[in-house]
Structures are given as structure tokens and as C-alpha cells.
Amino acid sequence: MTQDNQYKIMKLSSGEEIICNLIADEHPRTFSIEAPLKMMAVPRVTRDGVEESLSLQRWIHFSDGERYDVPKTQVLVITNASVGLSKFYEHCIKRMKMEDIGEPTENELKDIEYEEEWDDEYGEPLSKIYH
């Protein structure tokens, strides 16, 4: 991430919060953004109490586009993302680009079943989900 390429967090009038790369804001009516991901706090009950982790997910599913124009009237707040969040965002974007989304393999299905059984038997997840 360079100084010129600051990632932004946008709070939308819909209540959604997204992190994105702000490409341009010169247009009087829209912001041009790239690679937006929806931010969600995911609560989980643990032995130590309730913990929240951050989930970054695609903002618009089933689209091949990476650039979007967001009406300025739909944006309530824009702020810079922290350094830590920016690094996590970059990591998630890289992983999403690398992933070949297809049908799960037999081994992946078995792993999922095993994790679900572990969850049911011991009451805690086998692994943590970070995005």
C-alpha cells in the first residue's frame, strides 16, 4: 500500500460498511471505487465470553466487475482504513483472486464434515474464520 493508494471505509445509507480502493471522487454525483468488500463483525461465543472477528466478503456477488460507481448521496461517511485493516484487506483481495471457485473436492467435503462433527462434539470450532 502506498501513501497515494489509501484504502477507504465507506458507511452507506443502507447500513453497510465497505472497504475499497477509492479511484476517483471528481465526479459531482458518484465515487468511483474498486474491489469493494463488505465488512461484518461476526460474534462468537467462547469460553471467555463473546468475541468479535472481522469478516470481509464480496460486496456484490456474481459480478465480474471490479469497479463500481457509488452515488455520493448513498455515502454517509468516508474515512481512511487503518494500516492493519489495509493489510488484511490486501490479503483477502489476493486470496480471492487466487481462488478458483468451483465444486468442492471429496477431501474438502470430508474436512467440512469432520469440522462440523468436532464442533458438535466439543462445542468449539476446530479452526477460526478470519474472512
Per domain, the residue ranges of the chain are 7-122
- Residue 105 predicted with pLDDT over 90: no
Asked if 39 and 9 touch (Cβ cutoff 8 Å), the reply is yes
Residue 77 has a pLDDT of 97
CATH top-level class for 7-122? mainly beta
Residue 5 has a pLDDT of 55
Alpha carbon distance 95, 34 (integer Å) = 16
Mean pLDDT across the stretch 70-77?
96
Residue 57 has a pLDDT of 92
Q: How confident is the model at residue 26 (pLDDT cuts 50, 70, 90)?
A: confident
CA 24 to chain centre: 21
